[in-house]
Chains A and B, each alone.
Chain A
Amino acid sequence: MRVSTLDLRERRRSAQSRLPTELGLDGVELDAGERARAIASWRARMVSEYVSARIFSALVPQAMRAALPHPSVRALTQMATEEVRHAELCAEVVRGLGAEPVAPMPEDLAPVPEHRDADPLEAILRNAIAVGCCSETVAVALVGAERELAATPALARLLRSILRDEVGHARFGWSLLERSASRLDAGQLRRLSFHLVTIFRHQLATYAPLRDLPGASDAAVSVGIMDGPATFRLVAETLARVTVPGLERHGLEAGRALREATSRAG
Chain B
Amino acid sequence: MAAQVAAVGALACVGAGVAHGEDRAATANQTATASEHVADLLRLQPESKGCFQPVTWGPPAPPAFEGGSVGVAERESEVCG
* With contact pairs A37-B50, A126-B59 given, residues A4 and B1 touching in the complex (Cβ less than 8 Å): no
Cβ–Cβ contact B70 & A201, under 8 A: yes
Q: Which residues of B contact A179 (CB under 8 A)?
A: none
Interface residues in B26-59 by Cβ distance below 8 A to A read 35, 38-39, 41-42, 45, 47-59
Cβ–Cβ contact B19 & A7, under 8 A: yes
Interface residues in B1-31 by Cβ distance below 8 A to A read 1-2, 4-5, 7-8, 11-12, 15-16, 18-19, 22
Cβ–Cβ contact B62 & A195, under 8 A: yes
How far apart are the CA atoms of A31 and B4 in the complex, in Å? 11
- Which residue of the partner chain, among A35, A43, A199, contacts B59 with CB atoms under 8 Å? A199
Contact mask for chain A residues 198-216; partner B; CB cutoff 8 A; 1 contact, 0 none = 1101110111111001101
* With contact pairs A31-B1, A104-B38, A202-B72 given, residues A209 and B77 touching in the complex (Cβ less than 8 Å): yes
Q: Which residues of B contact A48 (CB under 8 A)?
A: 53-57, 78
Cβ–Cβ contact B2 & A130, under 8 A: no
* With contact pairs A44-B78, A225-B51 given, residues A3 and B35 touching in the complex (Cβ less than 8 Å): yes
* With contact pairs A40-B8, A104-B39 given, residues A206 and B18 touching in the complex (Cβ less than 8 Å): no
- Shortest beta-carbon distance, B72 to chain A, in Å? 6
Q: Which residues of B contact A231 (CB under 8 A)?
A: 52
Q: Which residues of A contact B49 (CB under 8 A)?
A: 33, 36-37, 40
Q: Which residues of A contact B66 (CB under 8 A)?
A: 113
Q: Which residues of B contact A131 (CB under 8 A)?
A: 58-59
How far apart are the CA atoms of A43 and B11 in the complex, in Å? 11
Q: Is the interface of B mostly helix, strand, loop or mixed?
A: helix
Cβ–Cβ contact B55 & A44, under 8 A: yes
- Shortest beta-carbon distance, B29 to chain A, in Å? 15
- Shortest beta-carbon distance, A67 to chain B, in Å? 20
Q: Which residues of A contact B76 (CB under 8 A)?
A: 110, 206
Contact mask for chain A residues 95-137; partner B; CB cutoff 8 A; 1 contact, 0 none = 0000110111010011011010100000000110011000100
- Shortest beta-carbon distance, B52 to chain A, in Å? 6
Cβ–Cβ contact B16 & A110, under 8 A: no
* With contact pairs A32-B5, A226-B51 given, residues A115 and B62 touching in the complex (Cβ less than 8 Å): yes
- Shortest beta-carbon distance, A236 to chain B, in Å? 15
Q: Decide if A240 is an interface residue (CB 8 Å cutoff).
A: no
Cβ–Cβ contact A213 & B50, under 8 A: yes
Cβ–Cβ contact B62 & A3, under 8 A: no
**Which one of A40, A54, A110, A126 has the greatest number of beta carbons of chain B within 10 Å?**
A40
- Shortest beta-carbon distance, B22 to chain A, in Å? 7
Q: Which residues of B contact A7 (CB under 8 A)?
A: 15-16, 19
Q: Which residues of B contact A102 (CB under 8 A)?
A: 12, 15-16, 19
Q: Which residues of B contact A3 (CB under 8 A)?
A: 35, 38-39, 42
Contact mask for chain A residues 63-102; partner B; CB cutoff 8 A; 1 contact, 0 none = 0000000000000000000000000000000000001101
Q: What are 12 A-B pairs at a CB distance below 8 A?
A: A1-B39, A3-B39, A36-B49, A39-B8, A45-B53, A48-B54, A103-B11, A112-B58, A113-B60, A126-B62, A198-B61, A202-B59
4 closest Cβ pairs, A-B complex: A40-B48, A130-B59, A44-B53, A205-B73
